[in-house]
Structure 1
Amino acid sequence: MLEVYLFVNPLANQCVRDEQNVLRLANDSDKQIQFQFVPLLNINVIQRALKCQGIKTSDWHAQNEQSQTLYRVILDYKAALFQGKKRGRNFLIALQSAMLKAGQHYSEHLVKTVATDCQIDLDMFMEDRDSDLAKQAFHADQRLASEMNITEASSAVVFDCDQYDYGVLLEQFNYTTLFDLVNGNLDPFQDATRATNASCANLTNAQLHVL
């Protein structure tokens, strides 16, 4: 069995594409795959988000606003997950679509609408999103990221629980790279930072690190 942890900025388009790649992989691969989207919130995530919006990273007001919005989105996601992984994942994808594709601004009204559309118990959700349990889940995710030395979003860690006692950190990847790694077509001990090696032809700018 394989375990895939995808560390994401919930409000980054690249992370949405990475989520879609992981979902596609789970459908395409013959192997049993368990996956988890782990929201990441740190200064690197915030500054990269501001750069993508054309905002100066030295703008402290913008930094604080971005941080607060991401924090609220993450707590909402955690609250939705309490009602099941599938519903939680559907909630995240629907909220991302509303904000990133439809251009809607984060608000309590938007969150309630998305939760209702995803068939989430609204009363329970509204209570859970401000609960200590949701905050503890957030901090647990950040500890997990720290333990795996994750500092940037769009990072995936893959564990093959049946064969190896180590994980592989994959950064700046595409679907082909992820598929090849999961299906044993890449050797994580090789130098995967260069695409000049014939065995790494599909890696482009991806980087592999053994944890």
Structure 2
Amino acid sequence: MLEVYLFVNPLATQCVRDEQNVLRLANDSDKQIQFQFVPLLNINVVSRALKCQGIQASNWQAQNKQSQTLYRVILDYKAALFQGKKRGRNFLIALQAAMLKAQQRYSEALVKQVAQDCQIDLDMFMEDRDSQLAKQAFQADQRLASEMNITEASSAVVFDCDRYDYGVLLEHFNYTTLLDLVNGQLDPFHEVTRQASANAGSTTAQLHVL
């Protein structure tokens, strides 16, 4: 059995592509795969998000606004997950489509509409999104990221419970890299050794054994 943890910025286009790759992998692979999208919120995530918008990371007002929006989106996602993993994922994907593709601004009205479209119990959702339980779930995700040394979004940690006693961290990966690792066509130790001598500026997939 495989366990995949994908650490994401919920409002980053690259993370949406990574989510699609993980969903595609779960659908294409013959192996049993359990996966989880783990929202990440730290200064690196916020700074990268601002850079993509052409805003200086030193703009404290913009930084605070971006952090607040991401935090609210994450709590909404956690509240949706309380009604089932599938509903939670569908909510996140629908909210991302509304904000990233349709360019809608985050608002209470938008969140309610997305929740209703995803057949989420609205009364329960509205109560849960501001609950202590949702905040604790957010904090647990950040602790998990810290334990796995995750500092950047679009990072995936893969555990192959049948073959290895360790996890493999992938950064700058694509579907092919993920598939090769899952199918055993990529030796993590060999790849880590090879990449250690590669150019530090390379944008190719990077693997680290945890």
Shorter-normalised TM range = over 0.9
Distance 1:204 1:116 in 2: 40
How far 1:191 moved relative to its partner? 3.5
Unaligned runs of 5+ in 2: none
Q: Name the SS of the counterpart of 2:188 in structure 1.
A: coil
1:32 CA drift (Å)? 0.4
Matched residue SS, 2:138: helix
Letter in 1 for 2:207: L
Q: Which residue of 2 aligns with 1:18?
A: 18
Residue 206 of structure 1 corresponds to 205
* Structure 1, gaps ≥5 residues long: 198-202
Partners in 1 of 2:69 and 2:110 — Cα distance? 13
Q: TM-score, normalised by structure 1?
A: 0.95
Equivalence for 1:104: 104
Distance 2:73 2:67 in 1: 10
Give the distance between the partners of 1:134 and 1:170, measured in 2 at CA. 28
Of stretches 161-170 and 60-69 in structure 1, the one that deviates more from structure 2 is 161-170
Residue 67 of structure 2 is matched in structure 1 by: 67
CA distance in 2, matches of 1:31, 1:158: 13
Residue number in structure 2 paired with 1:4? 4
Between the aligned partners of 2:90 and 2:173, the Cα distance in structure 1 is 23
The residue correspondences of 1:147-166 to structure 2 (distance < 5 A) are 147-166=147-166
Give the whole-Å Cα distance in 2 for the aligned partners of 1:63 and 1:181: 36
Shift of 1:189: 0.3
**CA offsets 1:139-173 (integer angstroms, 9 cap, x no match):** 00000000000000000000011222110000000
Counterpart position of 2:76: 76
Residue 31 of structure 1 corresponds to which residue in structure 2? Answer: 31
Percent identical across equivalent pairs? 86
State the TM-score, normalized to the length of structure 2: 0.95
1:35 aligned partner, one-letter code: F
Compute the displacement of 1:204 (Å).
6.5
Tell me by how many angstroms 1:107 deviates: 0.2
Q: Which runs of 4+ in 1 moved over 2 A?
A: 191-194
**Aligned ranges for residues 44-55 of structure 1 at < 5 Å?**
44-55=44-55
RMSD in angstroms over aligned alpha carbons? Answer: 1.6
- The amino acid that maps onto 1:168 is V
| Matches of 2:163 and 2:180, distance apart in 1 | 16
